[in-house]
A = this chain, B = another copy of it.
Amino acid sequence: MTQVPVQEKVLNENQRLAAELRARFAEHGVFVLNLISAPGSGKTALLERTLESMPRDARVAVLTGDIQTENDARRLARAGFPVQQITTGGTCHLDARMITRAVEKWNLGDFDTLFIENVGNLVCPSSYDLGEHAKVVLLSVTEGEAKPLKYPSIFAKAEACVLNKIDLLPHLVFDLRVAKANIEKAHPGIAVLETSCTSREGVRTWTEWVQARRAAEFSRATAGH
Q: Is the CB of A67 within 8 A of B123?
A: yes
Select one of B119, B140, B153 contacting A40, CB under 8 A.
B140
Interface pair A147/B68, CB less than 8 Å apart: no
Which of B38, B150, B171, B198 contacts A71 (CB under 8 A)?
Answer: B150
Nearest Cβ on chain B to A88's Cβ, whole angstroms: 9
Mark interface residues in A39-65 (1 if CB within 8 Å of B CB, else 0): 110000000000000000000000000
A122 to B119, CA, bound (A): 10
A102 on the interface (CB 8 Å rule)? no
Asked if A181 is at the interface (CB within 8 A of a chain B CB), the reply is no
Q: Which of B120, B142, B146 contacts A69 (CB 8 A)?
A: B146
Query: With A3-B6, A150-B69, A168-B171 in contact, do A122 and B120 touch (Cβ < 8 Å)?
Result: yes
Known interface pairs A2-B6, A120-B122; A144-B67 also in contact (CB < 8 Å)? no
Residue A132 at the chain B interface, CB threshold 8 Å: no
Beyond A68-B150, A140-B142, list 12 extra A-B contacts (CB 8 Å): A2-B9, A39-B122, A39-B150, A40-B140, A67-B150, A68-B149, A68-B151, A69-B150, A121-B121, A121-B122, A124-B124, A142-B165
CB-defined A-B contacts under 8 Å, sample of 14: A2-B9, A38-B39, A38-B40, A39-B122, A40-B140, A40-B143, A68-B151, A69-B146, A71-B146, A90-B123, A90-B153, A92-B92, A124-B124, A142-B168
Residues of A within 8 A of B (CB): 2-3, 6-7, 9-10, 38-40, 66-69, 71, 90, 92, 119-124, 140, 142-144, 146-147, 149-153, 165, 167-168, 171-173, 198
